[in-house]
Structure 1
Amino acid sequence: MESNKKRIYLSSPHMTGNEQKYIDLSFKTNWIAPLGPNVDRFEEDICQYVGVNDALAVSSGTAALHLALRLLDVKAGDKVFCSTLTFIASVNPILYQQAEPVFIDSEFDTWNMSPDALKRAFMDAEKEGNLPKAVIVVHLYGQNAKMDEIVEICNFYQVPIIEDAAESLGSTYKGRKSGTIGKFGVFSFNGNKIITTSGGGMLVSDDKTAIARGRFLAAQARDNKPYYQHSELGYNYRMSNILAGIGIAQLSVIEERVKQKQAIYQRYIRGLSDIKEIVLMPEYKGTRHNRWLTTFYIDSEQPLFTPFELIQELERENIEARQVWKPMHLQPLLNEYRFYSHSEHLNVAETLFERGICLPSGTNMTEDEQSRVIQIIQSFVSRRREQHFIANF
């Protein structure tokens, strides 16, 4: 039976109330098409917030990743190492360039790229005389990867890092903002992110020359001529002035949103602490986790329930939840490519996928609504324990 209760979403857009002011300004000044003063302001605001020299506002996080690969001259036949536990947008730009992804497993401390697996991948690539052109490190669900270890490995082999910080705006790693440690950082402002422009992304770097070239490529690579001339392949990737206006208002409350996300996580800790099988995603030492989504995995060799069963139970109550990302090396599109597990006997990404759940984490979810989520989980687990006891009595 379907619930008639109000739907609770995983992470829906949360407007500040000031977005309309910037949208109206776009209409009043007729800056409707891509580019304009809102775009310039949004780029400047991002630079100031994360602490980089330059930023490029584009149509999506995927577009920003694609431009980063172009700027690193990734081309057909090249290898790119990439986190396997991620959304496919981290990988598609590699395929756009006809390059070869090599997937790197996670580890349990951060759920992100395993330095041990990365090191083995590099050692094999060195033996084969075919080092990667780049490494794409994903900061999953707002948690930074172990960047000290990853940077050390990549610097040893002189391979640049692209940080896929699509989910981690507002997170920090040892005092530095997520997305500012590698050669390039990428943010997403999709509708479900911690702040949104409805759709959009940002490429950031301290290399102003590289960002200037990215700006050229993102605007159809039009030559500096008094007429339309194109000497190389470009893209229609620039952000619209209207959407950038939404971003200006949204970015102004990013610290408030991080605090709200962290408060949601703390309420889940308190509400689910009695369920010993639930292990919430950790916050790695020296980092600030923006808690974009509160996630956990079921830590039991003989679990009382599967993620899918709990997701179904929540859906019956009109509550949206989902499994952790399905690893890229398991995707039908990508299963032909090489994968490096965390260790010989431990595949962390597959374990997290098989046992992991993302809980509703929207900053516009009320405390009463979150209490409803928690109560349903508690009731569901309690029933499963009772059924297990009776079956084994």
Structure 2
Amino acid sequence: MTSILLSGPDMSDAERAAVITAFDSGWIAPLGPAVDAFEQKMAERLGRRHAVALSSGTAALHLGLLAWGVGPGDVVPTATMTFAATANAITYTGATPYFVDADPETGQMDPDLLEEVMSELRRQRRPVPAIVPVDLLGRCADYTRIGDIARRYDSRVLADSAESLGAEHAGIPAGKHGDAAILSFNGNKVMTTSGGGMYLTDDVAAAARVRFLATQAREPVAHYEHREIGYNYRLSNLLAGVGLAQLDRLDGMLERRRDRREAYARLVADVPGVEVFQREDDERDNCWLTAVLVDPEVAGFGAADLEAALRGAGIESRPLWKPMHLQPVFESAPAGITGAAERLFVTGLALPSGSGLTGEECARVDSALEDFFGSRAERAA
């Protein structure tokens, strides 16, 4: 029996043709016409002046912070409910991540708690050059409030929009929020270049700095000259070809992820103690991953029980991100904690959400969920 993935890549003949076109252009190494076109097309879609295609979203975060001069001695508040890449990138610069707990309803960085953290850091006279909010599971963070806080404390916002391409907040698309933003094109995202990412900004100097650092900080002379440390972070021209084809298909892929969200909402509507996470006001989300929250006292089972049942049926599911402040590698990092992110980690489970799921696969997932819920209801009765 073939396993059903949580969010596998959605490929078509268009991507195959795009790779062949990029190959035939002769630009096999990084850089090339497909990279240029990919950057321009994404910048135009999101209303940004500059886009720099890179090898990963992590690379975009790292260089975005370096472009602002973030380094040792600095503190960078970020969401504790995130993948490790966010915190790792801050650490690469020598700065200290400060983890801020989640809003229990949305899972996003809690603006009230961020305000408290910023106030305390100002009292301590700690430099806070940047804040890195994270768009969790395809929903934009509250950039209206976070942006206001950042301005009052003279900090800049680097939006980690790795998960949210296609989503909006306050009528502004993910990727355009903040002083700069990053995207991820990892294989499990709403669109992919196999591996890849992008830095987006309206600041020409910051974009130029990121581009320079991403190409090993090579000076513009005929021979190889380097006056500072650089990085090999540019995106391959072949992979940019895949990105161009994926971008053309993005809206349709987002619609299919939305269809999965709606199907799960109908399926759990009458199941006590189970609800779709982030369901309220989700019209502008991209539905990258649809997750359910399970209240074990009401449901009579936990998220781990549901995950085990799906695994037994050959269906991948996954707990929500384990909060960074609970990760052994970051146990000494400062954090403002309410317990909200930890509760979401314990009670949340992401379900198969990929736009490439076939009708047969969707039916298999739905049947497995119905069987599990039905058997639990019979046992309770």
Task: Indicate the residue corresponding to 2:145 in structure 1.
Answer: 149
**Unpaired stretches in structure 1, ≥5 consecutive residues:** none
Distance 2:274 2:55 in 1: 37
Distance 2:326 2:283 in 1: 29
Task: Indicate the residue corresponding to 1:356 in structure 2.
Answer: 348
Task: Indicate the residue corresponding to 2:60 in structure 1.
Answer: 64
Task: Indicate the residue corresponding to 1:81 in structure 2.
Answer: 77
Q: CA deviation at 1:200?
A: 0.3
> SS of 1:197's equivalent?
coil
1:90 counterpart (86, 90, 94):
86
1:375 counterpart (367, 377, 380):
367
Q: Is the 8 A contact 1:61 1:187 kept in 2?
A: yes
Q: Is the 8 A contact 1:175 1:287 kept in 2?
A: no
Q: Is the 8 A contact 2:271 2:299 kept in 1?
A: no
Q: Is the 8 A contact 1:173 1:286 kept in 2?
A: no
2:5 counterpart (4, 9, 23):
9
Normalised by the length of structure 1, the TM-score is 0.94
Distance 1:320 1:13 in 2: 14
Change (3 A) 1:287 1:204: farther
Q: Which residue identity lines up with residue 174 of structure 1 in the other structure?
A: A
Q: Which residue identity lines up with residue 349 of structure 1 in the other structure?
A: A
> SS of 2:13's equivalent?
coil
Q: CA deviation at 1:99?
A: 1.2
Q: CA deviation at 1:158?
A: 1.3
Say which is worse superposed, 269-278 or 232-241, in terms of deviation. Answer: 269-278
Task: Indicate the residue corresponding to 1:267 in structure 2.
Answer: 263
Q: Is the 8 A contact 1:197 1:243 kept in 2?
A: yes
Say which is worse superposed, 5-14 or 238-247, in terms of deviation. Answer: 5-14
Change (3 A) 1:208 1:92: same
Q: CA deviation at 1:208?
A: 1.7
Q: Which residue identity lines up with residue 115 of structure 1 in the other structure?
A: P
Say which is worse superposed, 284-293 or 305-314, in terms of deviation. Answer: 284-293
Q: Is the 8 A contact 1:43 1:55 kept in 2?
A: yes
Q: Which residue identity lines up with residue 218 of structure 2 in the other structure?
A: R
Say which is worse superposed, 259-268 or 284-293, in terms of deviation. Answer: 284-293
**Unpaired stretches in structure 2, ≥5 consecutive residues:** none
Question: What is the aligned-residue RMSD (CA, Å)?
Answer: 1.5
1:384 counterpart (364, 373, 376):
376
Distance 1:233 1:131 in 2: 24
2:48 counterpart (35, 52, 73):
52
Q: Is the 8 A contact 1:143 1:283 kept in 2?
A: no
% of aligned pairs identical? 39
Q: CA deviation at 1:124?
A: 0.6
Spell out the pairing of 1:10-49 with structure 2 (5 A cutoff). 10-49=6-45
2:184 counterpart (188, 194, 203):
188
> SS of 2:293's equivalent?
strand
> SS of 1:336's equivalent?
coil
Q: CA deviation at 1:20?
A: 2.2
Task: Indicate the residue corresponding to 1:299 in structure 2.
Answer: 295
Distance 1:26 1:145 in 2: 36
